[in-house]
Amino acid sequence: MDSLHTVLPRALLHLFQHGPMSQGKLEAAWRVAVGDAISRVSSVHLQADGSVEVRAADQRWQRELKRSSHHILSKLNALLGAQAIDKLHVK
């Protein structure tokens, strides 16, 4: 019998990587990728071209998100599937 700690991550990956991309799916993956603190001070919006617009609560968070954008993009694509998101635009 598998524990919840091993089953849950696999189930989340399966849900994230299958099915069409949606705003809700992006928001859930964003929370997992960046954690609760950054998720509370930012919002993400799926763009028609497949990129993601990120809005920060203030300039300090904007700088941090810009600095970390490459790492965050890698984490999102690991969750959502390779190349699911082309680019993050931090505003």
Distance between CA 47 and CA 89 in Å, rounded? 10
Distance between CA 23 and CA 45 in Å, rounded? 7
Look at residue 6 in the predicted model and tell me its pLDDT.
75
Q: How many domains does the chain have?
A: 1
What is the side-by-side strand order in the sheet with 42-46?
42-46, 52-56, 88-90
Residue 47 token pair = 């763009």
Distance between CA 54 and CA 47 in Å, rounded? 10
User: Mind listing the pLDDT tens digit for each residue in 21-67?
Assistant: 899 999 999 999 999 999 999 999 999 998 999 999 999 999 999 99
Look at residue 67 in the predicted model and tell me its pLDDT.
97
Phi/psi at 37 (nearest 5 deg)? -60, -50
Residue 76 token pair = 């999102």
- pLDDT range class, residue 5, cuts 50, 70, 90: low
Domain range for 17 is 4-90
Look at residue 4 in the predicted model and tell me its pLDDT.
67
Bridge-based pairing state of the strands 42-46 and 88-90: unpaired
Whichever domain contains 51, its CATH number is: 3.30.300
User: Mind listing the pLDDT tens digit for each residue in 10-19?
Assistant: 777 777 788 8
Look at residue 88 in the predicted model and tell me its pLDDT.
95
**Per-residue pLDDT averaged across 65-85, rounded?**
94
Q: In the beta sheet, which residues pair with residue 88?
A: 52
